[in-house]
Amino acid sequence: MPAPTAVSETAPTQPAANVSELLATGRTGNEKLAPELLGLGRWINSDELTLAEQRGNVVLIDFWTYTCINCIRTFPSLREWHEKYAGQGLVIIGVHTPEFEFEKIYENVVSAAAEHGLDYAIVQDNDFQTWRAFENQFWPAKYMIDKDGYIRYTHFGEGDYAETEAKIRELLAETGSDVAAIAAGESAELQRDKRAYSSEDPFDNQTRELYGGASRNYGALNSGTTAPYVYHQEYYRAPDVDLEYEDPGDHRNHFIYLQGPWHNGLEELVHARETENYEDYIVVKFSAVEVNVVMSADADEPYEVRVTLDDNPLEPEQAGSDIMFDEDGNSFVLVAASDMYRVVQLPEYGSHKLKLSSNSSRFAMFAYTFGSYIEEPGP
């Protein structure tokens, strides 16, 4: 270690106790104290918690929303960490900050937590107050808080699970917890098909997320930097109205095309009439391995959405886990809840035309998400 340099009489000095504390904790002095949880709603799997009460523990704040496929892909790691380290002083708090209005419904979040086996503490942040306190911008987002309440690690999006677990173990060790006998996870990072982002032409790469609602489309249009998602000029005459659309037939990657009457709600596209022969539809040309669609329904009034790929019913080897088949071989999704539905899971990366149609006037489509992982994670 080099010898210390002389300090002038006027130079500010740091108290020795603070230096010792930093050396003992591994902090650099640049970390921020985590803000307190604010404006929260109801809790799941736990009584109300505060971060102040967790001094001495390691806290992992996970911002998520239940229809986000990127969040869903992180659940296996979160479940594993909770199982292995909760007894060692790790407290996971899933802060559920909703993207869509129906995700504010407590029962929907409870159902999603049970479906995915999330047993750690979860709380609703419907008004985004904790989201804003952390200055967060992403789903999913993880903030690791040490025993003294400082944010020591952040991670946005999927991946880097080994790195995140290593930080959990480091911070638990600082509390005096002995994690040496607990084996670290060995799950490999998921790999995307190289073709998903290899082209210099963005229209050949993986399809971006696509949103049906006027709020997102008008926001993109007004940004001047992002193309809107619905590829019909008439959609932008006015929001929250019924309009008649005609599919031009010439489809480009990254856009939504419509046939028939649709209502452009603030968050969703809604089929604007009852039909008998699936003559109205939503179609996208996509490039990906998997396609997921967020749709909503009243729990007591499910409806069917017919799904075709390149104008044919899906083959079983192309079908996402939520696809069903009728006796005539037609592929469809039964929309019985407001949720994300796994529609397409291809054997390999490719470009195709995906059409969704329903005879129901309750058919409401919020968003498409796409993925190009070579292997999907477990449930």
Tell me the pLDDT tens digit for each residue of 329-338.
999 999 999 9
For residue 48, tell me if it sits in a domain.
yes
Same domain flag for 131 and 270: no
pLDDT given for residue 311 in this prediction: 97
Same domain flag for 221 and 166: no
For residue 183, tell me if it sits in a domain.
no
Mean pLDDT of the chain: 91
Q: How far apart are CA 225 and CA 222, in angstroms?
A: 8
Helices (H), the chain: 16-25, 69-72, 75-85, 106-115, 129-133, 161-174, 214-223
Share above pLDDT 90 across residues of the chain, in percent, rounded to a whole number: 83
Share above pLDDT 70 across residues of the chain, in percent, rounded to a whole number: 91
Q: How far apart are CA 158 and CA 369, in angstroms?
A: 14
65 compared with 187, residue with greater pLDDT: 65
Same domain flag for 222 and 353: yes
Lowest mean pLDDT among 71-85, 164-178, 192-206, 254-268: 192-206
Same domain flag for 170 and 114: yes
For residue 375, what pLDDT band results from cuts at 50, 70 and 90? low
Mean pLDDT, range 297-312, rounded to an integer = 93
Mean pLDDT, range 2-29, rounded to an integer = 47
Same domain flag for 162 and 249: no
Same domain flag for 279 and 213: yes
Task: Name the domain boundary from 139, 174, 209.
Answer: 174
pLDDT given for residue 18 in this prediction: 54
Same domain flag for 258 and 148: no
> How many domains is the chain partitioned into structurally?
2
Same domain flag for 156 and 290: no
Same domain flag for 77 and 217: no
Same domain flag for 212 and 247: yes
Same domain flag for 70 and 110: yes
For residue 14, tell me if it sits in a domain.
no
Residue 8 has pLDDT above 80, yes or no: no
Residue 4 has pLDDT above 60, yes or no: no
For residue 188, what pLDDT band results from cuts at 50, 70 and 90? low
pTM for this model (two decimals): 0.89
Q: Is the dihedral of CA 261, 265, 270, 272 positive or negative?
A: negative
Same domain flag for 169 and 201: no
For residue 19, what pLDDT band results from cuts at 50, 70 and 90? low
Helix (H, G, I), strand (E, B) or coil at 176: coil
Domain span at residue 365? Answer: 196-371
Q: How far apart are CA 361 and CA 363, in angstroms?
A: 6
